[in-house]
Structure 1
């Protein structure tokens, strides 16, 4: 059975994340519903990871297996004609049978967008930014240096997922211009992320940008391995999964 790899974009505002939920609307559920209109029995879709409720994607990866007689379906065009407007297939390709969207992944990039003006937030940007107000970028960048490299990120993992190890390696935390003068984009790249880890890191960096924490506090929080020592989780709407890396692309 040919294995089809999908690269997806979606506005996560009206979804309870990517992964199937018994009673909630999810991206995986919409994909399987669309495939059910092509197959007699819809295949199971496997994602590279579960994005949280309200989190967006520009490069989520998923795969499914299809019968030989369906291998030449124009998947991108067909699925986009069946999916809701807030989900889009950017690319569809046949891959080797041993490819797995989750287990073959070797790294991910997320971006988090902050709105930094107090007086207002543009209505059409509210679904995609954290309206946090002014922050000290230099203080945030200094604190971010503490988080680079290999660490046990237990203090930045929310409960809900069992993992073999909480050690991860962050190779990039960088600041970039947003789509307008009031927005700033923070990019996070790592070999893997724990549950809500990027949102927790962003919450910590914003606390630094507000003068509530400094680099020594971040070191202390890391060393504590205690989630209760870290600041609250940043809201979901500012976060987007940008890309997932696989061995051929490293």
Structure 2
């Protein structure tokens, strides 16, 4: 059987999604817990890999097993063997041709930034922080230039192993809710550190260090060394994956409204 699962996790407790030699990856925790339910080792394949400190409200992964279990057993049984900072939200049997990564049509992320002179205590590790006032309107104007198909080399990590820097950004917005500024992105796929690098550059726009034409020029220059530094991971959330309807997955994007 092939089982797809929806997953939520607090990234501060892990060294990213991918399995690690010290077993500190989200993948390690989930594979060990699912194996307890299945009675055999399993291998998870995720829709996208998140870095250390990055959270997920709706990650999607799949695994194959010979074990026959009720769908709720894959949820409740697995969660019984997990630490409280990671949870399986749903499980659903899928056909053999489904793949959590390759069947995905788009991925959605949001970056939640706390914009205040004093860093937050209760939200420590769960939101990004910048201490000076930012102009959300200017950042919203600049972010519109990211929509469409582009070479995103300007916002790509130097160690990124993707074969191509070309990605299609379907949506990109900036909104403000009190002291929180929320950056929302939906694309067919993302490069390593791409969102954190884009947010770092947008914050320069919000400060007035870059104007909108200068931000657009960064994208066109395709040179990571000319762009602002990578921003902290704390406020980054993987919020959803888009699949064709025929898969009938119970996937709903968990967004900040």
TM-score under structure 2 normalisation?
0.91
Give RMSD over aligned pairs: 1.7
Alignment correspondent of 1:185 = 182
2:245 corresponds, among 216, 229, 248, to 248
Deviations along 1:32-57, one digit per CA (max 9) or x if unpaired, are: 11123234431111111210100000
Change (3 A) 1:122 1:161: closer
Note the alpha carbon deviations across 1:74-99, whole angstroms, 9 max, x for none. Answer: 21111111111000111111011111
1:188-227 Cα offsets, whole Å, 9 max, x none, are: 1111111111111101100100101112212221121111
Distance in 2 (alpha carbons) for counterparts of 1:47 and 1:16: 15
Which TM-score applies when normalising by structure 1? 0.93
Equivalent residues of 2:144, 2:173 under 8 A apart:
no
Match of 1:202 among 190, 199, 202: 199
Among residues 126, 129, 146, which one is paired with 2:127 in the alignment? 129
Preserved contact between residue 71 and residue 92 of structure 2 (Cα < 8 Å): no
Greater mean alpha carbon deviation, residues 68-77 or residues 210-219: 68-77
In structure 2, list runs of 5 or more residues that go unmatched. Answer: 248-257
Q: Which runs of 4+ in 1 moved over 6 A?
A: none
After the TM superposition, which residues 22-171 of structure 1 pair with which residues of structure 2 at under 5 Å, given as runs?
22-70=21-69, 74-118=73-117, 120-133=118-131, 134-171=133-170
- Tell me if structure 1 keeps the 8 A contact 2:125–2:234: yes
User: What SS does the aligned partner of 2:40 have?
Assistant: coil
8 Å contact 1:121–1:131 — kept in the other structure? yes
Which runs of 5 or more residues in structure 1 are unaligned?
Answer: none
Give, in whole Å, the separation in 2 of the partners of 1:44 and 1:136.
Answer: 45
Instruction: Give the count of matched residue pairs.
Output: 246
